[in-house]
Each structure stands twice: as C-alpha cells, then as structure tokens.
Structure 1
Amino acid sequence: MSFSSCCLKTFTWGGTPIGVEGKLANNDCYTTGHNKEIAILLVHDIFGWKYPNVRLIADHLAREVNATIYVPDFFGGWVVDWAAVEEDRWSEIDLDGITENQSREIRGPEIVACARAIKAELGFRRLGALGYCYGGWAVCHLASKGQEIALVDAISMVHPSWLVKEDIDNITVPFQVLAPEHDPSYTPELKGYTFQTALGLNVPFNYQHFPGTVHGALVRGNEEVKGEREAMARAKNAIVTWFKQYLQ
C-alpha cells in the first residue's frame, strides 16, 4: 500500500476554523463542538490534521450533527507542503517515505488509543468514525471484529485508500462509503467486493456514487470546477445524515 499523486489533488477553501488545538491520548488534536455525549473521530487524509478543509468540515459536522469532533494528528507531526502540491512540484514530496512512516503497524495503535480515550476516558456515550482517503482503512480497523471491545457505533469512509478485502470482511457496525466515479485507490474491483460482502455482514450499509468526480474531490475539490462544489456539498450532507441517524 502506498500514496500516489492522485491523493495529492488539492484545493484549499476559504473560511477560518473555529475549534481549538489540544491533546487526545498522546496525539495532538483539533477539537470542535460541545456535545458531551456524541463524538466523531475524524481520520485525515495525506494532507494531515492541520489542513484547513478538514478542519472546516469538522466544524460543519459539529454544528449539523450536534457532536464533538476530534481530528488527531496521525502523521507524527509531518504536514505536506500544500503549496508544492498546488503548484505541481511533485518532486519535492517524498511519497515513499510518507508511506513507510504512516504504516498500519505504526499508526493503528494510535488510532485505537484515541478511540478508546473518547469512549473510556472522556465518557462519550456514542462514537462515530469518519475517514478520508488514508482514513478509510483506519475507520474499518476501528469497526473490526478483531477489536476486544466495541470502539465505534458507526463509520463513514470517503474515497478510501489502503483498503484490503479483509477490512470490508470484518466490519461490525453500520458503514457508509462515498465513492467518486474515477478513483485508482478505490478500484472498481474493490467497489464490487464491498457490495458483495456488505450483503452478508448483517449491518446497515449506505453506498453513494459521485459521477464525474475523482479521488480527493469530496474533501479537496475545486469550487470553481463544474460539479465539484455540488459534490462536496452532497458528500457533507450525506455524512451529516448518516451520523445523525446512527449516533443520536
């Protein structure tokens, strides 16, 4: 598993995030919202926890779901050079090094620890998990039958990457997939496998197809490109509806 240049499509929105930075477990974390019973753990994509779009989405979810949203840093302090990406200076970004440092073996325990902290230490009654790109495998990991205790109550993944078939096989909670039409990370084969497997998992399943869109467009799409603004709004609304249904 590795990152590819499609993961680095970017467009930074306007607006100023309104949350605060602090700690969750041992990780730096952006937190927004004030609900003491319902929380969502948002696992960021390659652009990391400081990327403005991710924080603005977290702010939207806090207001519209009425939940507290946690966006921990799962890249150990590394943040991609957004300007280099937007200016197509790909040679300055070490994708192989990023992949090695953010492996499942390294980050999996951190992601589980953050979920446990929200439920066990902070006392939230309900917890959802939302993953963009890299975060797709992570939310499946939290929902896996291999966990010793139930960590999350529902998950949503948006143009997921790093997925393997076993991730889908082991999901134990209601799950949502938001999938662009063109996505080399979430291939037609894996999309088909998701459908086939979901029918036998005995959990609610919601799949939404976004025609004409590409990997990354639902969090980092260009508002000036035809259809991408509408797709981003539709994706945000779908996530809100999903978590309101299964967390409230």
Structure 2
Amino acid sequence: MSGECCKSGHGWLGKPKGTEQKLANNNAYITGSSNERAILLVPDIYGWTLNNSRLLADSYAEKLNAVVYVPDFYAGEIVHPDTLRDPERQKAFDMYEWAGRNSAEKRWPEVKACAEALKSKYAKVAAVGFCWGGWACLRLAADPSLIDAVSTAHPAMMEKGDFDNVKVPVQLIAPENDFTYTPEMKAYSLEALPKTGVQWEYVYFAGYNHGFASRGDLTTEKGVAGLERAKRSVINFFGEFL
C-alpha cells in the first residue's frame, strides 16, 4: 500500500468567494449564505487553504443555497500546493508521519466540535469529505444529533465498523482505482449499508483514480467530466436531505 496518490494531483484555477473566520476553535474558510442549511467540508491532506477545496465549497454553497465551512483540521500545518506536481516535494513529504500527526484519534474531537457548532446554529447540517475526510464523515454519520447526511469521495482511514454504525443517509463516491477505498472495503460497504436501514447511495466512477474529485486534471475532458459528475452527485444527494 502506498500513499503516493494522496500527494499527487492538480491545482485548480479560480478565485474563491468566501472569507476566513472561525468555526468552534478552528480557523475555517466560510462561503455562502443561509439561516437554515450548512455543510461541513472535511478536506484531503492539502487542507483548508487549497484552492480546490475552496472552489468546491463555493459550488456547493451556490447550488444548495447553504453556508459551507472548510475548517483547518491539521493544527495549522499546510502541505505546500506545489507538492501536487513536484516530484522532489513529494519525495520529501512523509505521508505516514503526517498521518500520525493527524490521526483520527487526535482529530476527532475537533471534527465533532465543529459539527456541534453547526448543529447549534443551523436546522440542517451535512458533511462531505475527501480522502482523509472520509473517516470523519462516516464517524459523524453514526450520530444523528451531529449530522443529517454525509457524502465522501475516495474515502481513507475508515474501518469496516464505520459502515456498520451509520444512522443517517450516506453517499459513497467510488473511483475504480483506489488504494484507500479498496475492492475489499467497497464490497464490505455494499454488504453493510443495506443492513443499516438508512438511505444510501454508491456512485461508481469506472476508469477514475483516487483523488479525482478533489485534485483531478481539469485540462482534460475526462478530468472535467469526472469532477462535474462528482459535484452533481453530492449536490443532488444533499438536495434530498438538507
């Protein structure tokens, strides 16, 4: 198993529309306007400052008439965006040391606190997570007092029990090639979710790789098509439950 595909990808062009504020005790990018609906976006290892995550947040805010929050869950540590395409930076960045500093056990209290803060203010709250954010969304989904629905694309760091314990609607965006959401884990999720009694959706992307929905190559037709389908999937799913 390798974490190389968590490091690589493509940065996206565009100017984010939101502002930087606080959510609970975490710095956060905030975009959109609503008194009723909020979305917690849990980013991949590139975190809350990566242009891609902020542009995704802007899209969700606009299409769902919601406020979207992208918190810093990595204690201020920023993986330089040039690492996406720079082999030397990728070689120097130790993915497993980073994961140790940002384990689920260490970061769950912050994720939970952010969800609680949103639930205290908004009637409906959803969470969407990419890669590292996958485990966080599934763990939130075990507690309906924290969240109303979750979606995760190419999730990482989850355990089989996370699928058993969900109690709110769940969407899984699954690329064909993924070292984190493996064929075994995909099979288990498809076996476990029907037993939970929740509404759930599995969206399969043949020919796509881990990271396509948050770091895909938008200079190619395939990259654009995959990203746009993934965004539509999240927007349509949350549109039912927010």
Q: Do these two structures clear the TM 0.5 threshold for a shared fold by scoring above it?
A: yes
Q: Which amino acid aligns with 1:107?
A: R
Q: Which amino acid aligns with 1:100?
A: G
Match of 1:212 in 2: 207
Match of 1:127 in 2: 125
Over 3 Å counting, the alpha-carbon distance change for 1:49 and 1:3 in structure 2 is farther
Alpha-carbon deviation of 1:9? 2.1
What are the residue-to-residue correspondences of 1:1-248 with 2, within 5 Å?
4-89=3-88, 90-120=90-120, 123-144=121-142, 147=143, 150-247=145-242
Q: Between Structure 1 and Structure 2, how many residues are aligned?
A: 241
Show CA shifts across 1:175-229 (max 9, x none): 0000111001100010010111111110111100011110001111101234111
Structure 2 residue runs of 5 or longer lacking an equivalent are none
Distance (Å, rounded) in 2 between the aligned partners of 1:142 and 1:96:
24
Indicate the larger mover: 5-14 or 36-45. 5-14
Distance (Å, rounded) in 1 between the aligned partners of 2:210 and 2:217:
12
8 Å CA contact 1:141–1:167 kept in 2: the answer is: yes
Distance (Å, rounded) in 2 between the aligned partners of 1:177 and 1:46:
19
**TM-score, with length taken from structure 2:** 0.97
Distance (Å, rounded) in 2 between the aligned partners of 1:234 and 1:193:
24
Show CA shifts across 1:59-82 (max 9, x none): 000000110001000001011122
Alpha-carbon deviation of 1:3? 7.3
Q: Give the ranges of 4+ consecutive aligned residues of structure 1 lying more than 3 Å apart after TM superposition.
A: none
Distance (Å, rounded) in 2 between the aligned partners of 1:10 and 1:184:
15
Q: Which amino acid aligns with 2:80?
A: D
Distance (Å, rounded) in 2 between the aligned partners of 1:155 and 1:212:
24
Structure 1 residue runs of 5 or longer lacking an equivalent are none
